Amino acid sequence: MSDTRHLLVADARRLPLPAASVDLVVTSPPYWKKRDYGLPGQLGQEATPAGYVEAVMQCLAEWRRVLTPSGSVMLNIGDSYHRRTLAGIPARIEAAAIGAGWLVRNRIIWAKTRGMPDPVRDRLAGRHEYVLHLTGRRYHYDLHGYAERYGNGANPGDVWSIEPERGLSPHLAPFPVELARRAIMLGCPRRVCGSCSTPSVRIIGRTADLDPSRPQARRAMQLAEEAGLTPAHIAAIQATGISDAGKAMQVQTGTGRNSADVRRLAAEAKAALGGYFREFTFARKVTTGWTDCGCNGPMRAGRVLDPFSGTGTTGVAADELGRGYIGVDLDPDCHAIATERGSRHLAPAA
Ligand SMILES: C[S@@+](CC[C@H](N)C(=O)[O-])C[C@H]1O[C@@H](n2cnc3c(N)ncnc32)[C@H](O)[C@@H]1O
């Protein structure tokens, strides 16, 4: 059992946690008018959509307090039918969040082919939900690490096809571990300075390695070899950064960014490679190191909070990825399941 997985019984709007103490919130609140948990103070049974959105905004204000300056929120949210119409809950939350100063950086679609039985005859069954990524102006984001795992290096896009997992309890609707895993990989730093809360981020270096499964890439490598292009030529292609060397020189002359040498090398490479020049701008990037804030103090693991933690799915993913975890839920009973899954109860902070 990990010492870094903790559970607290509290309301998501009043967290017994210090300011600036978590790096990412990953959570799925009860959706509006769906499940009645029968708990005093529960979220989700408000009389109107406006009342529900107001409660979610109170949560967001509290989460902003406990997040570090580079922290953000991955909010899993779905819509509800009320009097035969969709209530438009996700869109209402987005609008309110923007009004409160959040940036909606992504509206990720969680697509599923299976789902709850929906015995309707005059509309399609709902088979998607959203994960809203809500941030401040600056936020931690590891697109490189995520793209290596999910996109073969390219940006994998904002649709997550993940099948629901079988529930651990008839009363709870856990999201799949895979959903929490993706959110954490993107938004929670591996290591954070214990003194200044600055995350350590990847330093990315370029290589000359192309994807040999692409015929264009294989042809580019062949032409480069035949022409005897050097690593300096490849670096010059990448420095000019666009597909046509002539245009690059035209664009970049006067900016002072590329030296005459780089321009000459890029032009030579262009002459040798023709239209295959651009292939080297897609060369694989690698992690060459991690940034250091310079405090020289102790580092800690990034910390994920799930303020509607239920059965503790976010904790399972956090543990697997070596992050710390704090799970908060109003219901002490559901913490029993989370405890079985490896989290540890904490006495509420005084
Ligand atoms: C959709 S479930 C979360 C499921 C969770 N993702 C999991 O893996 O099991 C919502 C949870 O919110 C809790 N809850 C409802 N109102 C709450 C509130 N005001 N503060 C904290 N937890 C609350 C419920 O007890 C329930 O466990």
Residue nearest to ligand 1 atom 15, measured at CA: 42
Report whether 191 contacts 302 (CB < 8 A). yes
Spatial separation of the C-alpha atoms in residues 78 and 87, rounded to whole Å = 10
Q: Which amino acid is at 268?
A: E
What pLDDT, on a 0 to 100 scale, did the predictor assign at position 168?
Answer: 60
Ligand 1 in reach of 331 Cβ (< 6 A): yes
Query: Within 10 A of 134 (CB to CB), how many other CB atoms are there?
Result: 23
pLDDT tens string 244-268: 444 444 445 445 456 788 889 999 9
pLDDT for 240: 82
What's the confidence (pLDDT) of residue 213?
Answer: 86
Distance in angstroms (rounded) separating the CA atoms of residues 168 and 144: 33
The confidence band for 167, taking pLDDT boundaries of 50, 70 and 90, is low
DSSP code for 199: B
- Whether 153 shows a pLDDT value over 90: the answer reads no
Mean pLDDT of the chain: 89
Q: Can you say whether the dihedral through the CA atoms of 319, 321, 327, 333 is positive or negative?
A: negative
27 CA distance to ligand 1 middle (Å)? 9
Question: Given its phi and psi angles, is residue 88 left (phi above 0), alpha (psi -120 to 50 degrees) or beta?
Answer: left
Q: Is the CB of 174 under 6 A from ligand 1?
A: yes
Residue 255 alpha carbon to ligand 1 centre in Å: 54
Tens-place pLDDT, residues 116-147: 788 899 999 999 999 999 999 999 999 999 99
Boundaries of every domain in the chain: 5-201+291-345, 208-283
pLDDT tens profile 199-250: 999 999 888 888 888 899 999 999 999 999 998 899 888 888 754 444 444 4
Q: How far is CA 310 from CA 145, 195, 209, 319, in A?
A: 28, 31, 45, 16
Give the per-residue pLDDT at 4. 72
The residue nearest atom 7 of ligand 1, judged by CA position, is: 174
Of the residues 309, 326, 343, which should be mutated to test ligand 1's pocket, given the most ligand atoms within 8 Å of the CB?
A: 309
286 in Cβ contact with 241 (< 8 Å): no
Please state, as a whole number, how many other Cβ atoms lie within 10 Å of the Cβ of residue 43: 22
pLDDT of residue 75 exceeding 80, the answer is yes
Cα radius of gyration rounded to whole Å, the chain? 24
Percent above pLDDT 90 for the chain? 70
Q: What pLDDT is recorded for position 326? A: 96
Q: What is the mean pLDDT of residues 143-154?
A: 90
User: Which numbered atom of ligand 1 lies nearest the CA of 334?
Assistant: 27
Ligand 1 close to Cβ of residue 172 (< 6 A): yes
Band (2; pLDDT cuts 50, 70, 90): very low
Distance 303 CA to ligand 1 centre (A): 19
The response to whether residue 193 sits with its C-beta less than 6 Å from ligand 1 reads no
Q: Which two tokens stand for residue 116?
A: 């709850």
For ligand 1, whether the C-beta of 43 sits within 6 Å is yes
Q: Which CATH architecture has domain 5-201+291-345?
A: 3-Layer(aba) Sandwich (3.40)
User: Are 202 and 195 within 8 A, CB to CB?
Assistant: no
CA 308 to ligand 1 center in whole angstroms: 4
Residue 102 pLDDT > 60, yes or no?
Answer: yes
Query: pLDDT at position 72, please?
Result: 98
pLDDT tens-digit profile of 301-333?
999 999 999 999 999 999 999 999 999 999 988
Q: How far is the CA of 60 from the centre of ligand 1 (A)?
A: 15
Question: CA torsion 143→30→311→15, rounded to 10°?
Answer: 80
Taking 80 as the threshold, does the pLDDT of residue 3 lie above it? no
CA distances to 29, 30, 45, 343 from 329, in Å:
10, 11, 16, 13
